[in-house]
Amino acid sequence: MKVLHLSSALTWRGGEQQLAYLLEELPAHKVQNAVLCPQGTPLHKYCLKHDIPHETFKPKPFKKWNGLLALKRACQKEKPDLLHAHDSHSHSIAWLAHVSKLLQTPLVISRRVDFPIGSNRLSRKKYNHPGLKKIICVSEAIRKIIAPQIKDPQKICVVHDGMDPARFTTDESRQSYPLSPEQKKQGRLRQSLGIPEDHFLIGKVAALAPHKDYPTFVKTAELLLRENLPAHFLLIGRDDGCRREIEQLISQSRQPERFHLPGFRNDIPYILPELDLFLFTSKTEGLGSSLLDALYCGVPIVSTAAGGIPEIIQHEKNGLLAPVGDATALARSVKRLLEEPALRNKLVKQGREMVKAFSKAEMTRKTVEVYFNFFLP
C-alpha cells in the first residue's frame, strides 16, 4: 500500500511530530509513504533530511489552490492507494480535489482539535463527502464533539497520539528517570538561565498559542510566588501568536524576573527531565501529546482537564487535574505535589508505567488498521 500524507502546517507542532512518527514506523508495516506539504516548512526539511518522497506547494498566496494543483501532480507521480490529510486545510484541499473530480483516491483525515465542526453548509459537506472514508480522532473527547455532525458514525474512530522513548535515551546519562535532585541541579537549563539550585523549575513545553491559556499559567505562578514559593517559571515553545501578550502579563507581575521565555528549543530530550513540575493550563486541547513526554521523563504533572487531557492524565493516579481557567485550584495542586513527596513519587511511578500504552508503535499499529480496512475483502 502507498499513502500520500497531506499537511498544510507552516510550523512544527504536535501534529507534525505525530506525522513524523508515522513516516518512521509505517515502512515496517509494508506501507510506502509520500508527503505533500508547503515549501520551506519544517516538514519539508524533514522530508529532505530523511529522503522521503515528497511534493511541495507555495503557501502564499492562494494556498488552497496551489495545494490543489500540487495534489494532482503528486497523485499522478506517486499513484497512492490512500490520501491521509493531517489538518483541516489539507482536508479542504483533498475535498476540493474530489468535488472537482481531479481524483477519486480514498481519503482519511486526522482531527486534532476539540471544538465542533463548523455549522455552515460547506463544512457539513466536507465532513460527510463519500470520498472521506474515515475520521481519525486523536481522543475520545473529539469523537464525542464531532459525532453529531457526522451522518455515518462508523466513519469515526479514535487513535491516541504516541511518544518515542528513543528521543530521551540519547546517551547513558538519560536512560534513568526521573532524574535525581543532583542531576536536576546540574542541568543545562538551570545553568543557562542562572536559576539558583534551591529554586524549583516549573514549566511547560508548548507553542505560545492562545488556546494554551498562558494568562492562567501566569496567574497561577503569581499566586504561588505570593506564598513565597522558591520557584522559576518557564514557557518553552515557539511563538504562535501570543508571545507579546505573555510578555506584557509578565512585566505587570510582581516578580517578572522569575519568568523565562527561552523560545523554541531543539534539545527538549535534555531539558524536559530537568523540570521539577510540568504545569499545563490549556483551555482547549485535542489530547496534549507533550504530556506523554513529561510522563515518560518522570516529571510530575498538574494540568487542566481540557478536551482529551483526562485520557492521558488521570487525577491522583498519574497527575493532578484542575478545572479549566481555575488558577487557584492549579496553584493548590502545584503546592500539594511539591510538598508531598510520597504522592509525587507515586504519581511519577504510575505515570511512567501508564505511558507505555501511548507508544508511537501502538499509534502506528492502530493507524495501519484504519488504512487496511479499505482493502479487506
- DSSP letters of 189-222? HHHHHT--TTSEEEEEES-B-GGG-HHHHHHHHH
Kindly report whether the peptide bond that precedes residue 377 is cis, defined as omega within 30 degrees of 0: no
Write down the pLDDT at residue 181.
84
Write down the pLDDT at residue 349.
97
User: Does residue 128 belong to any structural domain of this protein?
Assistant: yes
How do the residues of the chain divide into helix, strand and coil, expressed in percent and rounded to 5?
45, 20, 35
User: Does residue 220 belong to any structural domain of this protein?
Assistant: yes
Residue 65: how many other CB atoms lie within 10 Å? 12
Domain match, 146 and 6 both: yes
Residues 274, 294: contact at Cβ < 8 Å? no
Write down the pLDDT at residue 41.
96
Domain match, 58 and 146 both: yes
Rounded CA separation 330/289 (Å): 20
Domain match, 169 and 182 both: yes
Domain match, 280 and 170 both: yes
Residues 168, 296: contact at Cβ < 8 Å? yes
- DSSP annotation of 95 reads H
Domain match, 248 and 342 both: yes
Domain match, 144 and 6 both: yes
| Phi, psi of 13, rounded to the nearest 5 degrees | -130, -160
Write down the pLDDT at residue 84.
98
Write down the pLDDT at residue 35.
98
The three grid cell numbers given for residue 196, joined into one nine-digit string:
539558583
| CATH number of the domain to which 49 belongs | 3.40.50.2000
The Cα-based distances of 105 to 8, 90, 342 in angstroms read: 19, 14, 55
End-to-end CA distance of the chain: 15
Domain match, 226 and 150 both: no
Q: Going by C-beta distance under 8 Å and a sequence separation of 6 or more, which residues neighbour residue 299?
A: 178, 272, 273, 275, 276, 277, 278, 348
Q: Write the single-letter amino acid at 326.
A: D
For residue 310, give the nearest of 295, 322, 299 by alpha carbon. Answer: 322
Domain match, 202 and 340 both: yes
The three grid cell numbers given for residue 90, joined into one nine-digit string:
489539507
User: Does residue 33 belong to any structural domain of this protein?
Assistant: yes
Q: Give me the residues of the chain with pLDDT under 50, please.
A: 173, 377
Domain match, 351 and 363 both: no
User: Does residue 377 belong to any structural domain of this protein?
Assistant: no
Question: Is the CA virtual torsion 181, 186, 191, 196 positive or negative?
Answer: positive
Write down the pLDDT at residue 170.
61
The three grid cell numbers given for residue 108, joined into one nine-digit string:
482519511
How many residues are present in the chain? 377
Residue-range definition of the domain harbouring residue 264: 165-358
Domain match, 91 and 14 both: yes
Residues 160, 287: contact at Cβ < 8 Å? yes
Rounded CA separation 23/162 (Å): 13
User: Does residue 264 belong to any structural domain of this protein?
Assistant: yes
132-149: pLDDT as tens digits: 999 999 999 999 999 999
Domain match, 198 and 134 both: no
Rounded CA separation 293/78 (Å): 34
Domain match, 279 and 130 both: no
User: Does residue 71 belong to any structural domain of this protein?
Assistant: yes
Q: CB burial class (10 A; 0-12, 13-18, 19+) of residue 16?
A: buried
Q: How many domains is the chain built from?
A: 2
User: Does residue 68 belong to any structural domain of this protein?
Assistant: yes
For residue 38, give the nearest of 18, 61, 72 by alpha carbon. Answer: 61
User: Does residue 114 belong to any structural domain of this protein?
Assistant: yes
Write down the pLDDT at residue 62.
65
User: With helix as H, strand as E and coil as C, how does 242-267 read?
Assistant: CHHHHHHHHHCCCCHHHEEEEECCCC
Tell me the whole-structure pTM to 2 decimals.
0.92
Q: Write the single-letter amino acid at 218.
A: V
Rounded CA separation 142/158 (Å): 9
Kindly report whether the peptide bond that precedes residue 323 is cis, defined as omega within 30 degrees of 0: no
Write down the pLDDT at residue 60.
81
Q: Write the single-letter amino acid at 160.
A: H
Q: Write the single-letter amino acid at 300.
A: P
Rounded CA separation 272/274 (Å): 5
Element (H, E) at 88: helix 88-99
CA 43 from chain center: how many Å? 15
Rounded CA separation 207/13 (Å): 7
Strand-pairing partners, residue 280, are 303
